[in-house]
């Protein structure tokens, strides 16, 4: 159950990040969509945490997932680039996510 709540939360986070960047690029009214999506994302944190009941693990999973989602949106949708250190950090973050999810 916590995996489903996390996945839905990250879907809302993806929408929020996309529209946040659109707002930053000068599209004024999309901030409302971003705001609502951020609220929805946060709302899914509570059942995810309740079902996993490991605050430290959940916090790292959400943080790393959010960083990866933001990176993918930035690179694929907005054509941003990572330098070598940022790429190395991303690879380490993926490794950390794998270790945190390991049972």
SS3 54: coil
Q: Pick from 10, 65, 20: which is nearest to 40 by CA?
A: 10
Question: Mean pLDDT throughout 11-29?
Answer: 97
Residue 28 has pLDDT above 80, yes or no: yes
Percent with pLDDT over 70 in the chain: 98
Structure confidence at residue 103 (pLDDT): 65
Three state DSSP letters for 75-90: HHHCCCCCCHHHHHHH
- Give pLDDT tens digits for 32-54: 999 999 999 999 999 999 999 88
Burial track 36-48 (b if 16+ CB lie within 10 A, e otherwise): ebbebbeebeebb
- pTM score, two decimals? 0.84
Structure confidence at residue 47 (pLDDT): 94
Distance from C-alpha of 13 to C-alpha of 71, rounded to nearest angstrom? 12
- CB neighbours (10 Å) of residue 52? 16
């Amino acid at each position: 159950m916590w995996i489903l709540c996390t996945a839905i939360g990250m879907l809302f986070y993806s929408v929020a990040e996309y529209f946040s960047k659109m707002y930053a690029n000068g599209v004024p009214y999309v901030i409302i969509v971003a705001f609502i999506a951020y609220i929805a994302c946060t709302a899914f944190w509570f059942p995810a945490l309740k079902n996993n009941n490991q605050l430290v693990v959940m916090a790292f999973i959400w943080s790393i997932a959010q960083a990866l989602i933001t990176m993918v949106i930035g690179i694929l949708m907005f054509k941003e680039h990572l330098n070598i250190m940022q790429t190395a950090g991303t690879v380490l973050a993926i490794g950390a996510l794998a270790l945190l999810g390991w049972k």
